[in-house]
Protein backbone atom coordinates (compact mmCIF):
# COMPACT_ATOMS: atom_id res chain seq x y z
CA UNK A 1 0.00 0.00 0.00
CA UNK A 2 1.41 3.38 -0.94
CA UNK A 3 1.08 6.32 1.43
CA UNK A 4 0.51 9.97 0.67
CA UNK A 5 3.54 12.18 1.42
CA UNK A 6 3.57 13.55 4.97
CA UNK A 7 3.35 17.11 3.57
CA UNK A 8 -0.06 16.34 2.00
CA UNK A 9 -2.87 18.58 3.21
CA UNK A 10 -6.59 18.73 2.57
CA UNK A 11 -7.23 21.80 0.43
CA UNK A 12 -10.62 23.46 0.43
CA UNK A 13 -14.23 22.53 0.95
CA UNK A 14 -17.02 23.59 -1.39
CA UNK A 15 -20.52 23.73 0.09
CA UNK A 16 -23.92 23.82 -1.55
CA UNK A 17 -25.95 26.46 0.27
CA UNK A 18 -29.53 27.69 -0.06
CA UNK A 19 -28.91 31.42 0.47
CA UNK A 20 -25.54 32.77 -0.64
CA UNK A 21 -25.67 36.12 1.18
CA UNK A 22 -26.70 34.46 4.47
CA UNK A 23 -23.83 31.97 4.18
CA UNK A 24 -21.32 34.68 3.26
CA UNK A 25 -22.40 36.65 6.34
CA UNK A 26 -21.89 33.59 8.56
CA UNK A 27 -18.46 32.61 7.25
CA UNK A 28 -17.25 36.23 6.95
CA UNK A 29 -18.76 37.98 9.99
CA UNK A 30 -18.88 35.13 12.51
CA UNK A 31 -16.11 32.73 11.47
CA UNK A 32 -13.85 35.57 10.30
CA UNK A 33 -12.96 34.53 6.75
CA UNK A 34 -12.42 37.08 3.98
CA UNK A 35 -14.37 37.08 0.72
CA UNK A 36 -11.78 36.60 -2.01
CA UNK A 37 -14.11 36.49 -5.02
CA UNK A 38 -17.76 36.18 -5.93
CA UNK A 39 -19.34 34.84 -9.11
CA UNK A 40 -22.42 36.99 -9.44
CA UNK A 41 -25.15 35.91 -7.05
CA UNK A 42 -24.36 32.19 -7.27
CA UNK A 43 -20.96 31.54 -5.72
CA UNK A 44 -18.37 32.97 -3.36
CA UNK A 45 -14.87 31.97 -2.26
CA UNK A 46 -13.59 32.82 1.23
CA UNK A 47 -10.27 32.35 2.98
CA UNK A 48 -7.97 33.28 5.81
CA UNK A 49 -4.65 35.00 5.19
CA UNK A 50 -5.19 35.85 1.53
CA UNK A 51 -5.23 32.24 0.25
CA UNK A 52 -7.35 31.84 -2.91
CA UNK A 53 -10.03 30.00 -0.93
CA UNK A 54 -10.54 27.67 1.96
CA UNK A 55 -14.32 27.54 1.58
CA UNK A 56 -16.36 27.80 -1.59
CA UNK A 57 -20.09 28.46 -1.36
CA UNK A 58 -22.54 28.00 -4.21
CA UNK A 59 -26.24 27.86 -5.00
CA UNK A 60 -25.83 26.22 -8.42
CA UNK A 61 -27.96 23.21 -7.46
CA UNK A 62 -29.26 24.30 -4.07
CA UNK A 63 -30.85 27.77 -4.23
CA UNK A 64 -33.68 27.78 -1.68
CA UNK A 65 -33.12 24.11 -0.83
CA UNK A 66 -33.57 22.50 2.56
CA UNK A 67 -30.83 20.64 4.46
CA UNK A 68 -30.62 16.86 3.98
CA UNK A 69 -32.63 14.95 6.57
CA UNK A 70 -30.86 13.33 9.52
CA UNK A 71 -29.63 9.81 8.92
CA UNK A 72 -28.48 10.39 5.34
CA UNK A 73 -24.98 10.41 3.93
CA UNK A 74 -23.12 13.65 3.32
CA UNK A 75 -20.67 15.99 4.95
CA UNK A 76 -20.45 15.51 8.72
CA UNK A 77 -18.56 18.75 9.34
CA UNK A 78 -15.97 21.11 7.97
CA UNK A 79 -13.09 21.57 10.39
CA UNK A 80 -11.37 24.94 10.62
CA UNK A 81 -8.11 24.96 12.56
CA UNK A 82 -7.01 28.11 14.38
CA UNK A 83 -3.34 28.79 15.17
CA UNK A 84 -3.68 29.07 18.94
CA UNK A 85 -6.03 28.90 21.91
CA UNK A 86 -6.66 32.67 22.03
CA UNK A 87 -7.74 32.72 18.36
CA UNK A 88 -10.07 29.78 18.97
CA UNK A 89 -11.53 31.52 21.99
CA UNK A 90 -12.10 34.69 19.97
CA UNK A 91 -14.06 32.92 17.23
CA UNK A 92 -16.11 31.00 19.80
CA UNK A 93 -16.93 34.34 21.45
CA UNK A 94 -18.17 35.68 18.05
CA UNK A 95 -20.30 32.56 17.58
CA UNK A 96 -21.91 32.95 20.98
CA UNK A 97 -22.36 36.72 20.55
CA UNK A 98 -24.16 36.03 17.25
CA UNK A 99 -26.63 33.83 19.14
CA UNK A 100 -25.52 30.66 17.37
CA UNK A 101 -25.94 27.62 19.60
CA UNK A 102 -23.07 25.22 20.11
CA UNK A 103 -23.71 21.58 19.25
CA UNK A 104 -20.82 20.46 21.45
CA UNK A 105 -17.33 21.09 22.75
CA UNK A 106 -14.57 18.61 23.54
CA UNK A 107 -10.97 18.21 24.55
CA UNK A 108 -9.64 15.40 22.35
CA UNK A 109 -6.16 15.40 23.89
CA UNK A 110 -4.59 16.31 20.54
CA UNK A 111 -6.92 19.27 20.09
CA UNK A 112 -9.64 21.41 21.63
CA UNK A 113 -12.79 21.65 19.53
CA UNK A 114 -16.15 23.40 19.43
CA UNK A 115 -18.98 22.20 17.19
CA UNK A 116 -21.88 24.12 15.63
CA UNK A 117 -23.97 24.27 12.47
CA UNK A 118 -23.84 26.85 9.70
CA UNK A 119 -27.11 28.43 8.46
CA UNK A 120 -27.75 25.45 6.13
CA UNK A 121 -27.22 22.84 8.82
CA UNK A 122 -23.69 21.93 7.68
CA UNK A 123 -21.60 20.91 10.64
CA UNK A 124 -18.65 23.15 11.51
CA UNK A 125 -15.80 22.25 13.85
CA UNK A 126 -13.64 25.10 15.13
CA UNK A 127 -10.48 23.79 16.76
CA UNK A 128 -6.84 24.25 17.65
CA UNK A 129 -4.20 21.54 17.74
CA UNK A 130 -1.87 21.02 20.65
CA UNK A 131 1.84 20.67 19.90
CA UNK A 132 2.61 17.11 18.73
CA UNK A 133 4.94 16.63 21.70
CA UNK A 134 1.89 17.08 23.98
CA UNK A 135 -0.36 14.56 22.23
CA UNK A 136 -1.45 11.74 24.57
CA UNK A 137 0.01 8.28 24.00
CA UNK A 138 -1.00 4.88 25.34
CA UNK A 139 1.43 2.54 27.11
CA UNK A 140 2.57 1.22 23.72
CA UNK A 141 3.40 4.69 22.46
CA UNK A 142 0.42 4.90 20.07
CA UNK A 143 -1.76 7.97 19.76
CA UNK A 144 -4.54 7.95 22.40
CA UNK A 145 -7.13 10.53 21.42
CA UNK A 146 -10.24 10.83 23.55
CA UNK A 147 -13.24 12.99 24.25
CA UNK A 148 -13.19 14.88 27.54
CA UNK A 149 -15.08 17.96 28.69
CA UNK A 150 -13.68 21.22 27.31
CA UNK A 151 -13.55 24.08 29.80
CA UNK A 152 -15.34 26.56 27.55
CA UNK A 153 -15.16 29.42 30.06
CA UNK A 154 -11.37 29.08 30.36
CA UNK A 155 -11.14 29.12 26.55
CA UNK A 156 -13.25 32.29 26.38
CA UNK A 157 -11.22 33.90 29.20
CA UNK A 158 -7.99 33.25 27.32
CA UNK A 159 -9.43 35.03 24.27
CA UNK A 160 -10.24 38.08 26.40
CA UNK A 161 -6.78 38.08 28.00
CA UNK A 162 -5.10 37.95 24.59
CA UNK A 163 -7.17 40.81 23.17
Identify whether 85 is part of a domain: yes
How many domains does the structure of the chain reveal?
A: 2
pTM of the predicted protein model: 0.93
Identify whether 81 is part of a domain: yes
The residue segments making up the domain with residue 135 are 76-163
| Predicted confidence (pLDDT) at residue 105 exceeds the cutoff of 80 | yes
Statement to judge: residues 111 and 84 lie in one domain = yes
CATH number for the domain spanning 138: value is: 3.30.720.110
Residue 8 pLDDT grade (very low, low, confident, very high; cuts 50, 70, 90): confident
Structure confidence by residue, pLDDT tens digits, 109-156: 999 999 999 999 999 999 999 999 999 999 999 999 999 999 999 999
Identify whether 56 is part of a domain: yes
How far apart are alpha carbons 23 and 9 in whole angstroms? 25
Statement to judge: residues 103 and 138 lie in one domain = yes
Statement to judge: residues 100 and 152 lie in one domain = yes
Statement to judge: residues 55 and 115 lie in one domain = no
Amino acid sequence: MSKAPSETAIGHVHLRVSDLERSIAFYRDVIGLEVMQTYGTQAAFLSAGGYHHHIGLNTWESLGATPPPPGHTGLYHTAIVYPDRASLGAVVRRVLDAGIPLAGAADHGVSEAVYLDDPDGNGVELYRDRARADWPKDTGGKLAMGTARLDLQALLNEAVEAA
